[in-house]
Structure 1
Amino acid sequence: MSGYLVGIDIGGTFTDCAVVAADGTVITAKAASTPPDFSQGVVAVLGAAAQRLGLSVEDFCARIRLISHGTTTGTNTLIQRRGAKVGLLTTRGHEDVIHIMRGSRGYSGRDIRKVVHFPEGAKPQPIVPKRLIEGVPERIDSLGNVVVPFNEAEAKAALERLLAQGVEAVAICFLWSFKNAEHERRMKAIVQARAPELFVTASSDLVPKWGEYERTTASVLNAYIGPLTSAYLANIDQSLTGMGYAHPLQITSCAGGAVSVATGIEAPLLTLDSGPVAGVTGSAFLGGLMGHSNIITTDMGGTSFDVGIIHDGEAATSHISTVNQYQYFLPKVDIQTVGAGGGSLAVHDPVTGTLRVGPESAGAKPGPVCYGRGGTQPTVTDADLLLGYFDAENFAGGAMSLDRDGAEKAVADLAGKLGLSTIECAAGIARIVEFNMADLIRRATIEKGHDPRDFVLYAFGGAGPVHAGVFAAELGVERVIVPQKKTASVWCAFGAAAADILHVYEQVEVMESPFDPAAMSKVLAALGERGMAQLQAEGATEPALAFSIDLRHRGQINEVEVPVAGASLTGGDLQPLAEAFYEKYERLYGRGSSFRGAKLEAVTFRVRATAPLPRPVLPRTEAAPPEPPEAARRRPRKVYWSASKDFVETPVFDGEQLLHGHRVAGPAIVETTDTTVVIHPGQSLGVDALGNFDLTLR
């Protein structure tokens, strides 16, 4: 491998950069995120990385072989509701689909109170008001036959009414267009001919699946974030070229791979949650090197805590997502999130009189009180400082000093409202956020048929290794891996650099058992041709196709994705396909829950088209004696341990000086430039051959 591999991930607080050199050396850099123009943070973090390498930005960019970028522009656009003014063109008579929604109104089963108690919930603010929705005379039936011809004159008139109201983007979603996209294509051509400056999304291009509400939502969301996200991606692509980067920019996608910047501009919905997904991608890459097939990935940053599951070497995926209560179809790595980060605010709940932590966050500005940037409400980071987890004079490798007095005053004010001492309040803040995280992991594992004790837990993000020793032990997990020492704080950026090209194509074709293997093969082969054509158009080498089919019991709605060996099925493949469905169904829903006497239905056919990109090389090292050298020891400090409910003089180690074979017994603190590992009493930490911290909890 020649040249640098660079991964960039934009978080709510920091923009992270991971640079992998030809010899496998990893250089990391951080810069403050710069909303609303996040491109400034990208330029700043590349400058910081270049400085660490002793290069000018131009020289550094000229030496880069590949940049893979995870962007939160689309996510932030949705959260802040500053997207485009979208007009929706749909089949006449079905203009209210997006407002009717589903009965749950976008609330998951975890918020059962709002699901079953109507007054507790409400529909979200309409992303497209009714005045910007136009019905077009046309109709295609469930078999793909034209029932009502496309009325071009009416379609043009509907478009003119939307243009007169100043729409900036147009979404097109006709009934059954995934069975026959002819009418949508004609409508899209009319829009592009009349108003070429508009961002246009056709549902048959983006999500050719049934479920009118989810398909309409996906099309509208793509159009809503399209102008801002595509402008950002085009701008950053141009900026990188101007800085000397001479290769195609790759954008990490929510499906767990990378797509070209051109694809990201056309389908920005693919970038939603791409940052947290990159952390799962990096963990799957590292797990493959270490022989870990079952991994719980935990990413604790400044704003949120994200959990992903890798089982049998494959990341858990989902095909329906929710954002701002809007459900939409899109194949993606399944990430569960809760508002629990280093910047999560600790507050006194006046109704219950209890301490609550998150989901609100101090964010990048003003940040925790101890950052000295104007924050006044205590956060998890402030509590960690008071507990002794951080060195106020040597935080972030000495890049900044922390205001301990300010943090102590903020926590003391909160403690007074709760009738606690300052330290009791700080310990309570840490414990509450740790138990919140453990609860989320239970939902992502036990509720999906997995036992967390069968998994290794990977802890990353700036704050993840600080708290992993507690929330992992709470789950019964025995080992925690902090990937690549200091790289753990920018692990999502590293994961972006480790991603391969990935395109996912789906087609709904409902078939009932006994299945016709020829008919199934025809659908799979067509999807395979689309995937291969896309890879060839991008000049990908070593293309590969992986096929799967979503099956369900006839009459049920719960579908299970089952892999198939290839696009060509024979009669002998059908029984193994059914057995694989029964096995996975019962793992998800309980032993004995399947009914082998019922007919099965094949619903969604899918292909994942992949091609390798240059990947990091992590060298292995020889083991040193277990005793850490004196150079690794820093000045000890008093740390509060919940087990003893008191401060204890605790050894502190420089993580950069710990090598393969060295072992540290808890209680202890291990510090790197960008993160801290807290080793509780009874736990121990070692360094493995690949340079990861290996925390043993028992």
Structure 2
Amino acid sequence: MLLGVDVGGTFTDAALVDGDRVHVAKTPTTPDDQSRGVLRAVADALAAAGATPADVTALRHGMTVATNALLEGRVARTVLCATAGFVDVVELGRQDRPHLYDLARGRVAPLVPPDRRVAVDERCGPEGVLRALTDAEAARVADAVAALEPEAVAVVLLHADRFPAHERALGAALRTRLGPDVHVSLSHAAVGTFREYERAATTEVDAAVSPLVGRYLRRLARRCADGGLPEPEILASSGGVQTLEEAAGRGATTVLSGPAGGAAAATIVAAAAGEPDLLCFDMGGTSCDVLVVQDGRAREVGGGAIAGRPIALPTVDIHTVGAGGGSVAWADPGGALRVGPRSAGARPGPASYGHGGTEPTVTDAHVVLGTLDPDEPLAGGVALDAAAAAAAVGRLAGVLGLEPRACARGILRVADAEMARALRVMTVERGLDPRRFALLAYGGAGGLHAAGLAARLGIRRVLVPRAGGVLSALGLAAAERRSDRARTVLLRGDAITADALAASSPSRPGAAVEVAYDVRYAGQAFELTVRGCPPDPAALRAAFDAAHRERYGFDDPDAPIELVTVRETERVAGPPGTLGTAPPDAGGATVGPAVVRLPGATVVVPAGWRASTDASGTLRLEADDAVPAPAPWEADA
């Protein structure tokens, strides 16, 4: 049996795969110690299957420890060691502003304040060592760092991505002086590519979150061992699993761990449903994550950002907005109805959960409108309190001067608008026509909004897997093993040879190595990643021109190209993915308007739509007309 467990902001999901059968569980997340919620979800999934911990052969885990630490600013006490003259590179950042027209908006403060930045007397240039790092200087720096009593140290020396010897020597001195309890992150190992600001910011994040991630994972491993479960493997932001110790030692690789599980699951759905092109959105209790699957594969990028901080590591290309079932509705100073990004979270949660919450949320709006039936408990045994939901929405309605049901419809409209904007960011703003895609909805609240969002984008086909409420956990169970390496080469013209394009290291037995190339026209500041290209300069040139033309609408065959970075991904295929099988009573079609209840999720089928179930239990919604009908709360009445 294969077990996947995904921790979200509101619920912790588990999916247990036993051959072609899937058993699921959903329990409230325990923010004070996520491992408690993980073990509770595991126990519920095992009970549903009539299994024991000894039956589990592999346990894969997606988590939000690093993400929450960055969002909340609760990170390890960190010291930054950088080449003299460059200790402020993270604070200086780049010249662009995160909000172009908001002159009062400041940047996110660095994780390491000025009084914990230590200058190192050494210097490398682009061609090699200019000023050597002496043993005496390494010892001096180690003493200065020890005096600051850190929990973690980030070492970022100039050009260390190409010449790492100084970082290795300083890292050895720091570990000797500080002992094993202080985490040390070296930029050439944490990132490995050029651009000083991004490399420094990522290493700073890695150092600041790794102690927290390590403590959590080792506590979880002990609890799993005590319960007779195998040691968990951890999903990285790239969508592949790594060992627990690898994740503990490089916390930055787990920043998008949770959402990446949905990408693995989406590829399973794409194959099972015969829909290679999917526009996917995962609407949970706290947020909504959007990603694109093309030709059966989730789109990837060479780096991302979290909480305004760049993460220069391979990640699934995901866009997140604060629109989930627990997103709080409120009135801004101008009297406009707003939803999110603040969430009611797992505790107290929406008012309708009966855990003491008093603020109206998206879930409460659904209860008021009847799309969520108070007589039907949610997954995890959460009983809905209709009176509490009505009271919360009614208070906001009074502030806005609306009738309560009109206020509830407004809450859902605003949430839909925010999610539709996120879907357009990943499609229209990147040159993709959303009407070419089927919409895959998952997460506990995804099915409630799927058809309405599809109508806004002109999409006529919607898929909601039977295990859609815990789909990210299901994807974890089948995720591949993966490791990534990157090396900046900065080659131009005739220097781009077949040898330069070849993989630099052999793969492990049973693994396949894929090589991708970051390429740009000479003079450009940023690159496009070219995948699936053989190690041939002429083929790379043709592939890059085609990629540039597709992304930007033009190419320049006469301009020289520059190979910036070579990326190598080592993959070991995971176990065969499955969505399970449809129950015997799943046949037949449902004509809207209707509400269909699945394990862990509820699906709204508006008028003008019909729903049917395929062999794996996936609910397929199709619009009757060329112009899909909207969600019921989008109507004027």
Q: TM-score range by the shorter chain?
A: over 0.9
Decide which of 459, 468, 486 is 2:441's aligned counterpart. 459
Alignment correspondent of 1:557: 525
- Give, in whole Å, the separation in 2 of the partners of 1:498 and 1:398: 23
Give the 3-state SS of the residue equivalent to 2:566 in structure 1: strand
| Structural mapping, 1:533-552, within 5 Å | 536=508, 542-552=510-520
Alignment correspondent of 1:7: 4
Give the 3-state SS of the residue equivalent to 2:16 in structure 1: strand
**Amino acid paired to 1:80:** E
8 Å Cα contact 2:26/2:380 also seen in 1: no
Deviations 1:93-112 (A, max 9, x none): 1111011111235x2xxxxx
Give the 3-state SS of the residue equivalent to 2:494 in structure 1: coil
- Give, in whole Å, the separation in 2 of the partners of 1:316 and 1:587: 15
Alignment correspondent of 1:327: 310
Q: CA deviation at 1:672?
A: 2.3
- Give, in whole Å, the separation in 2 of the partners of 1:460 and 1:14: 14
Q: CA deviation at 1:148?
A: 0.5
Alignment correspondent of 1:91: 83
Alignment correspondent of 1:576: 539
Alignment correspondent of 1:209: 193
8 Å Cα contact 2:252/2:311 also seen in 1: no
8 Å Cα contact 1:543/1:609 also seen in 2: yes
8 Å Cα contact 2:503/2:515 also seen in 1: no
Decide which of 540, 564, 575 is 1:614's aligned counterpart. 575
**Amino acid paired to 1:464:** G
- Give, in whole Å, the separation in 1 of the partners of 2:118 and 2:210: 20
8 Å Cα contact 1:397/1:672 also seen in 2: no
- Give, in whole Å, the separation in 1 of the partners of 2:423 and 2:260: 16
Deviations 1:141-181 (A, max 9, x none): 112x1110112212221221221121111111111011111
Q: How many aligned residue pairs are there?
A: 623
Give the 3-state SS of the residue equivalent to 1:548 in structure 2: strand
Alignment correspondent of 2:492: 512
Q: CA deviation at 1:398?
A: 9.0
Q: Does 1:680 align with 2:606?
A: yes
Give the 3-state SS of the residue equivalent to 2:57 in structure 1: strand
Q: CA deviation at 1:517?
A: 1.7
Alignment correspondent of 1:635: none
Q: Does 1:291 align with 2:291?
A: no
Alignment correspondent of 2:335: 353
TM-score (norm 2): 0.95
Alignment correspondent of 2:405: 423
8 Å Cα contact 1:393/1:400 also seen in 2: no
Q: CA deviation at 1:513?
A: 1.8
Q: CA deviation at 1:620?
A: 6.0
- Give, in whole Å, the separation in 1 of the partners of 2:447 and 2:243: 33
Decide which of 100, 115, 126 is 2:100's aligned counterpart. 115
**Amino acid paired to 2:83:** T
- Give, in whole Å, the separation in 1 of the partners of 2:595 and 2:584: 13
Decide which of 144, 149, 167 is 1:184's aligned counterpart. 167
Give the 3-state SS of the residue equivalent to 1:616 in structure 2: coil
- Give, in whole Å, the separation in 1 of the partners of 2:597 and 2:532: 46
- Give, in whole Å, the separation in 2 of the partners of 1:50 and 1:294: 34
Give the 3-state SS of the residue equivalent to 1:115 in structure 2: coil
Q: CA deviation at 1:195?
A: 1.6
- Give, in whole Å, the separation in 2 of the partners of 1:620 and 1:482: 14
8 Å Cα contact 1:340/1:437 also seen in 2: yes
Decide which of 283, 288, 294 is 1:311's aligned counterpart. 294
Alpha-carbon spacing, 1:289–1:402, altered in 2? closer, same or farther (3 Å):
closer
Alignment correspondent of 1:230: 214
- Give, in whole Å, the separation in 2 of the partners of 1:602 and 1:316: 21
| Structural mapping, 1:584-603, within 5 Å | 584-589=547-552, 591-592=553-554, 594-603=555-564
What RMSD, in angstroms, separates the aligned Cα atoms of the two structures? 1.6
Deviations 1:167-214 (A, max 9, x none): 111111111011111111111111111122210110111111111111
Give the 3-state SS of the residue equivalent to 1:82 in structure 2: coil
Give the 3-state SS of the residue equivalent to 1:102 in structure 2: coil
Give the 3-state SS of the residue equivalent to 1:256 in structure 2: coil
TM-score (norm 1): 0.87
Which runs of 5 or more residues in structure 1 are unaligned?
Answer: 108-113, 622-655
Q: CA deviation at 1:519?
A: 4.2
- Give, in whole Å, the separation in 2 of the partners of 1:516 and 1:577: 10
**Amino acid paired to 2:574:** L
**Amino acid paired to 2:537:** L
Q: CA deviation at 1:619?
A: 5.9
- Give, in whole Å, the separation in 1 of the partners of 2:289 and 2:338: 19
| Structural mapping, 1:120-519, within 5 Å | 121-143=105-127, 145-196=128-179, 197-246=181-230, 248-350=231-333, 352-396=334-378, 399-483=381-465, 485=466, 487-519=467-499
Deviations 1:342-380 (A, max 9, x none): 011111112x21111111111111111111111111110
- Give, in whole Å, the separation in 1 of the partners of 2:413 and 2:584: 30
Give the 3-state SS of the residue equivalent to 2:483 in structure 1: strand
**Amino acid paired to 1:250:** E
8 Å Cα contact 2:26/2:379 also seen in 1: no
Instruction: Please identify, of 405-414 and 372-381, the stretch whose mean Cα deviation from structure 2 is larger.
Output: 405-414
8 Å Cα contact 1:136/1:151 also seen in 2: no
**Amino acid paired to 2:458:** G
Deviations 1:30-88 (A, max 9, x none): 12111121111111111212222334xxxx22110111000111111112222111111
Q: CA deviation at 1:412?
A: 1.5
- Give, in whole Å, the separation in 1 of the partners of 2:618 and 2:234: 27
Alpha-carbon spacing, 1:356–1:619, altered in 2? closer, same or farther (3 Å):
closer
Give the 3-state SS of the residue equivalent to 1:303 in structure 2: coil
**Amino acid paired to 1:525:** A
**Amino acid paired to 2:269:** L
**Amino acid paired to 2:377:** F
Give the 3-state SS of the residue equivalent to 1:514 in structure 2: helix
8 Å Cα contact 2:21/2:581 also seen in 1: no
Alignment correspondent of 1:67: 59
Give the 3-state SS of the residue equivalent to 1:510 in structure 2: strand
Decide which of 3, 7, 27 is 1:31's aligned counterpart. 27
Q: CA deviation at 1:565?
A: 4.5
Give the 3-state SS of the residue equivalent to 2:303 in structure 1: strand
8 Å Cα contact 1:549/1:564 also seen in 2: no
- Give, in whole Å, the separation in 2 of the partners of 1:33 and 1:576: 49
**Amino acid paired to 1:104:** D
Q: Does 1:47 align with 2:46?
A: no
Instruction: Please identify, of 285-294 and 365-374, the stretch whose mean Cα deviation from structure 2 is larger.
Output: 285-294
Deviations 1:322-358 (A, max 9, x none): 22222231110011010000011111112x2111111
Give the 3-state SS of the residue equivalent to 1:293 in structure 2: coil
Alignment correspondent of 2:633: none
Alpha-carbon spacing, 1:93–1:414, altered in 2? closer, same or farther (3 Å):
same
Q: CA deviation at 1:579?
A: 1.8
Which runs of 5 or more residues in structure 2 are unaligned?
Answer: 625-637
Deviations 1:589-639 (A, max 9, x none): 2x22x2222111110101110002323345667xxxxxxxxxxxxxxxxxx
**Amino acid paired to 2:387:** D
Identity across the alignment (%): 35
